[in-house]
Structure 1
Amino acid sequence: MLLAIDAGNTNVVFALVAGREIKTRWRIATDPRRTGDEYAVWLHQLLELEGYSKADVTAAIIGTVVPRATHNLEVLASKYFGVEALIAGEGRAAWPIALDVDEPQNVGADRALNAIAVHDKCPGDVIVIDFGTATTFDIVDYNGAYKGGIIAPGINLSLDALVNAAAKLPRIAIEVPADESVIGRTTDSQMLIGIYWGYVAMMEGLVERLKSEIGRPVRVIATGGLATLFDKQTDLFDAVEPDLTIQGLSLLHQKVASA
Structure 2
Amino acid sequence: MLLVLDVGNTTTVVGVYSQKTLIVHWRLVSERHTSDELGIYLRNLMQFASIPHGDIHGAISSSVVPSLDCVIQEGVSQYFNGIECLRVSSTLDLGMEVRYAAPHEVGADRLVNAVAGRDRYGAPLIVIDFGTAITLDIISPDGAYLGGTISPGLVSGMEALFGRTAKLPQVSLEAPLNVIGKNTMESIQAGLMYGNAGLVDFLVRKTWESLGTRCKVVATGGHAEAIAKISETIETVDQWLTLEGLRIIYERNIS
Normalised TM-score (structure 1) = 0.93
What pairs up with 1:1-259 in 2 under 5 angstroms? Answer: 1-31=1-31, 33-82=32-81, 83-89=83-89, 93-177=92-176, 179=177, 181-258=178-255
> Are the structure 2 counterparts of residues 184 and 51 from structure 1 closer, same or farther at C-alpha, using a change threshold of 3 Å?
same
State the Cα deviation string for residues 234-256 of structure 1 (Å, max 9, x = none).
Answer: 34222111111111110001111
Contact 1:88/1:95, CA 8 A, preserved across alignment: no
- Quote how far apart the aligned CAs of 1:90 are: 6.6
Superposed CA RMSD in Å reads 1.5
Q: Deviations over 1:103-160 (max 9, x none)?
A: 2110000000111111111222001110000000110113321101110100111011
Residue identity opposite 1:85 in structure 2: C
Segments of 4+ in structure 1 off by > 6 A? none
Q: How many residues align?
A: 254
Counterpart contact for 2:43–2:79, Cα < 8 Å: no
Whether the 8 Å contact between 1:115 and 1:144 is mirrored in structure 2 is: no
Task: For 2:9 and 2:142, locate their aligned partners in 1 and report how far apart those are by CA, in whole Å.
Answer: 29
Structure 2 vs 1, CA of residues 77 and 112 (structure 1 numbering), >3 Å: closer, same or farther? same
Unmatched tracts of structure 2, length 5 or more: none
Partners in 2 of 1:123 and 1:41 — Cα distance? 39
Do the aligned residues in 1 keep the contact of 2:162 with 2:168 (CA within 8 Å)? Answer: yes
SS in 2 for 1:248: helix
Counterpart AA for 2:187: Q
Asked if the contact 2:58–2:84 (Cα under 8 Å) also holds between the matched residues in 1, the reply is yes
% identity of equivalent residues: 34
Check conservation: 1:129, 1:223, Cα contact below 8 A. yes
Question: What is the alpha-carbon distance in structure 2 between the residues aligned to residue 80 and residue 3 of structure 1?
Answer: 12
1:27-56, CA deviations, whole angstroms, 9 ceiling, x for partnerless residues?
33223x301211122222221121111111
Q: CA deviation at 1:175?
A: 0.9
Task: Give the letter for the 2:12 counterpart.
Answer: V
Distance 2:210 2:253 in 1: 35
Distance in 2 separating the partners of 1:212 and 1:72: 43
Please give the alpha-carbon distance, in whole angstroms, between the structure 2 residues aligned to 1:61 and 1:98.
21
Contact residue 126 and residue 141 of structure 1 kept, 8 A: yes
Shift of 1:96: 3.2
CA distance in 1, matches of 2:202, 2:214: 17
